[in-house]
Each structure stands twice: as C-alpha cells, then as structure tokens.
C-alpha cells in the first residue's frame, strides 16, 4: 500500500473539476485506488505518507488516436489536405518501417515522448509491418506504459511497399496477441486496425472483422475525416449506405469495442449508427485544423449521448501533448459556438479535461480518475512558476491546461507504478 498527499484534482464527471486540497490518496499494491481522504483514516496509521506538498496530483492523460511511425514528421508537411498529405508525406515515411533498426530508433523516441508528456495510455497505429509493430509493443512493455498497438491493414490505393496480404495480416494479429498474452505485462494489447476504407478491400475488411470477433479484440480506424475522402468512399463502396456502414457490414463498427477517429462529417444515418452501435468517437482537433478537414460537432455528439474521447493524431496533429489537444478542443468548439449563433455551447476546460482522462481511460477499463478501484494513473504537477499570486485551485488547473507543458510534470504513475524515464 502507498499513500500520497497532494492537491488532488480530477473530473469524475464532465461537470467540473473535483478538488481536494492537501488530500490523501491510498493506492493498493495491485495498483488500484483504495480511496481519497481529506484526513487519513486510522486504519492507515502505520503506512508512511509520501507528501508532495503544494503540488497538484491529476489523472494521467490518455491519447486515443496517435500514429507512432509519423513521429518524425511532427510539425512538417501540414500544407496539404488529407489524401495528398498521405500520398506525399505519410506513406513514404511509414514505408521506412520495413527496416527494424529504423523502427526501433523512431519508436523509442516516440514512447519516450509519450512518457514525457504524461500520456500513460494510448491507442496507437503502427505500420503494416509485423516486426516493427511487435517492436513498438516491446518498447511500451519496457516503459511500463499502457497501449493498444495496431498493425495497420492496407492493401489498396497505397504504394506496394506498404501493402500487406490479408492472411499475413491476420496471422500477424494472432501472433501479436499470443506474444503479448505470454510476454506482456497486462498493459499492452493488440487492436485490429484497418487504416481506413480507401486502403482496404472488402476481403481485408471482412477478414479483420472476423479476427476481431474470433480473438475478442477492439478495433480502431478513421471515419468521415475529410470531404474528398467521404466522396471517395461513396465511389469505392456504392453498396454501403454511409461511410460507417462500410465498416459495419464487416463487424468493424461497434460489434467489438471500436474507436473511430475524426467524424468531422458524420451525420444522419452514420450518426445514428455510431450511437446505436456504441462506437467511440475520437476527436482530434489539432489534426482537423492542420489538415483543414473540418470541425467535428462534439457538443452535438455529447448531447446525443455518444462516447467521445480525445486524440492527438500525430502527425496530422503537430504536438504529442494532450494539453494541446485539450486546448484545441476547447478553442475549435468556441469557433463553432460563435458560428452556430450559440446553438452549440462550447466545451469547458473541465469537459475537455474529462475527455482526455476519464472518457479515454474508460476504453482501457477503470482508468482516468481517482475513484475507488480505478487504476492509479497519475501525474504530479509542479506549477510553482505559474502560481505566484495566490490563485485558487481551479485557477491553477486552468493555468496549467493553457500554459503548462511536460516540464511541469515531476512524477508519472501508471497502474500504481512510478515510471522512470524510458531508454531513448
């Protein structure tokens, strides 16, 4: 058992920050939270208290959509829209991951930066290469961080050196699962990852739906990100009633827990299908701004009861920090608020923080806040330089969200364990 004392701040609901000044949080040996207390109950009298003084202890971040092999392209190549961006910049970079030495070099840096930014769990696209994907999973295991890692499926409209064979991909997913079941730490697992409909033939989509079902695996992909992409899918899949239906027909749309990134242009029947099937929308506002994709109507999704999480979508997103994703989510929602004549109320800081912690964490189980039985995933934040004038706790949190960065994080915990800096 471990007991930490700090200013405890989390968002068990999107309604606001829950603040416990100089509170105690008790963490069991299995890494889950026993409880949080204003004063320490007698039962814990004999346990040493680790006192973090006036610092903030917050839930760690969860990035529900990020491309590890695009790490080297961060901040580059944002002068095109999605489809030419993929062709010109993204596919050539991903093709390099056939070389395992290169993969290891980049993936170590990628995981190191997730650690730096306080993102303790992530849903990650690797590339279409099995060996490099397994290497990425190994790096996460060594780091002690949680991740769902997807070998990317693609077999059409892409360069030959990135295309994979459906049966080899299915075999790769099965192998990665066996490998992680045997050698993993319970925090890293595979996720079925068709890149998006334009990259996958019906045969591949059908096989991936089958493998997700057979091995009881979650699914992640992209949906209705960009108008040219949506039009292209209509052409490629004339039988599907909407873009989402092209996944749904093959069991890739909520039949297993499913993440769909973007949904900037989802409405009508697609929106109904998302709702009905319990598909998780991953909002990636940095990427949607950079690639001029559009703005996802997040307020509308939330009003409809749709589960929304947050992602960086690096390198469509230009920054690995979930603080930046939170900021963008708030700011683009304010643009929508203004443009809809206030019909769509903007996201509050607490709501966006909730998306980045508890809403995303729920995809991994009980993760993302400080309630009993939740995994202790936490960041110790030292905001001394921001807090020079008796700000309230609420104000300190707002200032950290807008002005803070990785330098403010003093300690990182995942599933109860403090994680030291991973090898780069």
Q: Which residues bind ligand GUN (CB under 6 A)?
A: 67, 82, 86, 90, 195-196, 222, 225, 287, 313, 316
Stretch of 12-20, 87-95, 307-315, 404-412 lying at the interface with Fe ion (CB under 5 A): 307-315
**Interacting partner of 113 out of ligand GUN, Fe ion, none (Cβ under 5 to 8 A depending on kind):** none
- Which residue is nearest to ligand GUN, using beta carbons? 316
Phi-psi region of 44 (alpha: psi -120 to 50; beta: other; left: phi over 0): alpha
- CB of 140 vs Fe ion, minimal distance in Å: 18
- CB of 283 vs Fe ion, minimal distance in Å: 12
Residues facing residue 414 across a β-bridge: 417
Residue number, 193 or 357, with CB nearest to ligand GUN = 193
Residue number, 225 or 408, with CB nearest to ligand GUN = 225
Helices (H) and strands (E) in the chain, counts: 15, 17
Instruction: Please classify residue 110 by burial: count the beta carbons closer than 10 Å to its beta carbon, then call 0-12 exposed, 13-18 middle and 19+ buried.
Output: buried
Distance separating alpha carbons of residues 401 and 354, to the nearest angstrom? 12
Both tokens of residue 75?
């901040």
**Interacting partner of 90 out of ligand GUN, Fe ion, none (Cβ under 5 to 8 A depending on kind):** ligand GUN
**Interacting partner of 140 out of ligand GUN, Fe ion, none (Cβ under 5 to 8 A depending on kind):** none
- CB of 263 vs Fe ion, minimal distance in Å: 12
Check residue 372 and report its DSSP letter.
T
What phi and psi values does residue 24 have, to the nearest 5 degrees?
Answer: -110, 140
**Interacting partner of 82 out of ligand GUN, Fe ion, none (Cβ under 5 to 8 A depending on kind):** ligand GUN
**Interacting partner of 196 out of Fe ion, ligand GUN, none (Cβ under 5 to 8 A depending on kind):** ligand GUN
Contact indicator for 143, 188 with CB cutoff of 8 Å: no
Residue number, 34 or 225, with CB nearest to ligand GUN = 225
Contact indicator for 243, 230 with CB cutoff of 8 Å: yes
- CB of 191 vs ligand GUN, minimal distance in Å: 15
94 in contact with Fe ion (CB under 5 A): no
Q: Apex CA 218: angle with CA 149 and CA 136, to 5°?
A: 5
- CB of 67 vs Fe ion, minimal distance in Å: 6
- CB of 137 vs ligand GUN, minimal distance in Å: 19
Stretch of 80-88, 170-178, 309-317, 358-366 lying at the interface with Fe ion (CB under 5 A): 309-317
- CB of 74 vs ligand GUN, minimal distance in Å: 13
- CB of 212 vs ligand GUN, minimal distance in Å: 18
Distance separating alpha carbons of residues 319 and 338, to the nearest angstrom? 26
Distance separating alpha carbons of residues 135 and 67, to the nearest angstrom? 15
Q: State the DSSP H helix or E strand holding residue 213, giving kind and residue range, or none if neither.
A: helix 202-214
What phi and psi values does residue 165 have, to the nearest 5 degrees?
Answer: -85, 140
Residue number, 316 or 361, with CB nearest to Fe ion = 316
Both tokens of residue 272?
């109904």
313 in contact with Fe ion (CB under 5 A): yes
| Binding residue count for Fe ion, defined by CB under 5 A | 1
Distance separating alpha carbons of residues 399 and 394, to the nearest angstrom? 9
Residue number, 113 or 225, with CB nearest to ligand GUN = 225
Contact indicator for 317, 286 with CB cutoff of 8 Å: yes
Using only the alpha carbons of the chain, give its radius of gyration.
21
Residues facing residue 260 across a β-bridge: 221, 281
With tokens 């009633």, the residue in question is 241
Tally of CB atoms within 10 A around 294: 18
Residue number, 90 or 189, with CB nearest to ligand GUN = 90
Contacts to Fe ion from residues 325-344, by CB under 5 A: none
- Which residue is nearest to Fe ion, using beta carbons? 313
Stretch of 23-31, 39-47, 305-313, 402-410 lying at the interface with Fe ion (CB under 5 A): 305-313
The residues binding Fe ion (CB under 5 A) are: 313
């Amino acid at each position: 058992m471990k007991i930490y004392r700090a200013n405890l701040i989390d968002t068990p609901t999107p309604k606001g920050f829950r603040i416990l000044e100089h509170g105690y949080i008790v963490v069991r040996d299995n890494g889950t939270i026993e409880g949080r207390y204003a004063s320490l109950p007698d039962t814990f009298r004999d346990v040493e208290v680790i006192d973090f003084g006036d610092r903030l202890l917050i839930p760690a971040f969860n990035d529900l959509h990020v491309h590890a092999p695009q790490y080297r392209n961060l901040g580059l190549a944002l002068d095109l829209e999605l489809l030419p961006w993929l062709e010109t910049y993204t596919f050539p970079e991903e093709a390099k991951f056939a070389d395992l030495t290169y993969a290891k070099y980049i993936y170590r840096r990628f995981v190191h930066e997730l650690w730096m930014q306080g993102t303790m769990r992530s849903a990650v696209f690797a590339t279409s290469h099995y060996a490099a994907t397994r290497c990425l999973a190994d790096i996460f295991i060594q780091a002690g961080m949680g991740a769902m890692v997807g070998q990317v499926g693609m077999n059409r409209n892409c360069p030959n050196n990135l295309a994979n064979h459906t049966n080899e991909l299915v075999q790769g997913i099965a192998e990665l699962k066996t490998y992680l079941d045997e050698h993993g730490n319970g925090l890293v697992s595979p996720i079925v990852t068709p890149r998006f409909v334009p990259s996958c033939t019906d045969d591949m989509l059908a096989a991936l739906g089958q493998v997700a079902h057979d091995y009881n695996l979650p699914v992640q992909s992209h949906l209705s990100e960009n108008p040219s992409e949506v039009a292209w899918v209509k052409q490629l899949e004339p039988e599907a009633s909407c873009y989402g239906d092209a996944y749904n027909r093959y069991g890739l749309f909520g039949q297993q827990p499913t993440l769909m990134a973007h949904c900037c242009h989802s409405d009508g029947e697609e929106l109904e299908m998302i709702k009905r099937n319990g598909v998780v929308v991953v909002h990636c506002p940095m990427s949607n701004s950079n690639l001029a994709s559009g703005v996802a109507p997040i307020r509308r999704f939330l009003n409809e009861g749709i589960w929304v999480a947050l992602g960086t979508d690096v390198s469509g997103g230009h920054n690995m920090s979930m603080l930046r994703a939170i900021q963008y989510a708030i700011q683009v929602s304010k643009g929508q608020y203004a443009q809809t004549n206030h019909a769509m109320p903007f996201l509050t800081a607490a709501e966006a923080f909730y998306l980045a912690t508890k809403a995303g964490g729920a995809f991994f189980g009980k993760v993302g806040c400080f309630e009993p039985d939740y995994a202790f995933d936490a960041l110790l934040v030292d905001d001394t330089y921001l807090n020079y004038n008796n700000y309230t706790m609420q104000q300190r949190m707002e200032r950290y969200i807008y002005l803070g960065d990785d330098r403010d994080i003093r300690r990182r915990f995942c599933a109860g364990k403090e994680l030291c800096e991973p090898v780069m």
